[in-house]
Amino acid sequence: MADMQTATKPAPARPLVTATYPIILAVSLSHFINDVLQSMLTAIYPILKTDFALDYWQIGMLTLIFQCTASLLQPVVGIYTDRHPAPMSLPVGMASSFAGVLVLAFASSFTMLLIGAALIGIGSSVFHPEASRVARMASGGKFGAAQSIFQVGGNAGQAAGPLLAAFIVVPFGRPSVAWFCVLAALGMAVLYRVGLWYREYARTKGQTHADRTLPLPRNRIIMALVILAFLTFSKNAYMASISSYYTFYVIENFGVSTQTSQVMLFLFLGAVAAGTLLGGPIGDRFGTTAVIWFSILGALPFTLALPHVGLVGSGILTVIIGFIIASSFPAIVVMAQELLPGRVGMVAGIFFGLAFGMGGIAAAGLGLAADAYGIRAVYEACAWLPALGILTILLPRRREFAR
């Protein structure tokens, strides 16, 4: 944020141009493929735990390596590409994920599993900032809707991963993970075409530098970004408790099979996809702050109830929680981009990076807590995380940007 200007002026009007939906849908499809590949890691945790006799802390380390690799590199990629666009980095990122999936399929040691997780994390770190920038370029000014369509591809991929693992990897074994390299090859082809569009767009419309004048006083922006970071933490720490350990929770508490546990995780992740899709357009209509209020604090009653219900109740509550809590992320990204105009890649890198990094740190810590106190205790403690949504009261309102 060293380059923030102290002068402020009203935010520029959004351009009245038509959204390029084929490009938005292409990056959404690529996001789906990217997240199917990375969700293979968490989806096969029960298989890895059995094959390699892993403890919960080692499961947490796998998540930490994957998510921290992504989070540390994403802001760097975003800051660099704000000044030096790299359209062809998109298929390169998918190639890294391709390699990571192959390593996971044929790993012979825990160290190799960590390498596979790191390669997938690197792929995600390269993909997200530039793909998010493309979605905004193609949005026609409908920034929230474009971010939602882009992000719902990723959420759908995360939801599909456990389901595909349940019906492909479980019956055919860990080497069958390599079959998903076909998806990676498709993603590389799609992203190559997107890269060509992006390069042409940058050549014909991106010659002038974007207006980087701040819409609010510098101190106000810093405080708002810190609040958004805390809200991202509350959301992603809770999401990590579900994505990394929910399969173990339902197996341990209700005695279900591995396949059933993965179907339960699919229900949660499917609800996350639906919530993400609706969050952006609602934010465009009613304002990002209203969506953030509802999405984080609104999930609190349901997270508090989750550790105290049976199997059916758990399924119902996780669907409600996933739908509500996921709708905030498009709004958070759009608000941060409005706070820091002209820094789309940096914002995407930081907030996608925060999502991965905070989720990874939380997963590692929750793994240690689960070993010490049990899975149920972890969910009872995590249930209070959405209470941090009260911090939304400190965020700027839409009318402040219009002054």
Q: Residues 55-77: what's their mean pLDDT?
A: 80
Query: C-alpha angle with apex 70: 77 to 91, nearest 5 degrees?
Result: 60
What lies within 8 Å, CB to CB, of 9 at 6+ separation is: 213, 215
Q: In this structure, is the dihedral angle defined by the CA atoms of residues 168, 264, 329 and 351, taken in order, positive or negative?
A: negative
Structural contact between residues 74 and 125, judged by C-beta atoms closer than 8 angstroms = yes
pLDDT at 18 over 80: no
Going by C-alpha positions, the residue among 69, 194, 204 that lies closest to residue 132 is 194
What lies within 8 Å, CB to CB, of 148 at 6+ separation is: 276, 277, 278, 279, 280, 281, 330
- Is 262 among the domain residues? yes
Q: How many domains does the chain have?
A: 1
Position of tokens 């997200």?
128
- Is 380 among the domain residues? yes
Q: CA 215 from chain center: how many Å?
A: 27
Give the pTM: 0.65
363 falls in which pLDDT band (50, 70, 90)? confident
Q: Residues 211-226: what's their mean pLDDT?
A: 79
CATH label of the domain that carries residue 149: 1.20.1250.20
- Is 1 among the domain residues? no
Average of per-residue pLDDT values in the chain: 81
Q: Is 324 exposed, middle or buried (0-12, 13-18, 19+ CB in 10 A)?
A: buried
- Is 18 among the domain residues? no
Residue-level pLDDT at 208: 46
- pLDDT tens by residue, 270-312: 888 788 777 767 766 777 777 888 888 888 999 999 989 999 9
Going by C-alpha positions, the residue among 194, 224, 192, 322 that lies closest to residue 265 is 322
Going by C-alpha positions, the residue among 130, 250, 118, 262 that lies closest to residue 197 is 130
- Is 17 among the domain residues? no
Domain that holds residue 112: 26-401
Residue-level pLDDT at 169: 83
pLDDT at 46 over 90: no
- Is 191 among the domain residues? yes
Q: Residues 212-237: what's their mean pLDDT?
A: 82
- Is 193 among the domain residues? yes
CA–CA dist 5, 7 (Å, integer): 5
4 falls in which pLDDT band (50, 70, 90)? very low
- Is 21 among the domain residues? no
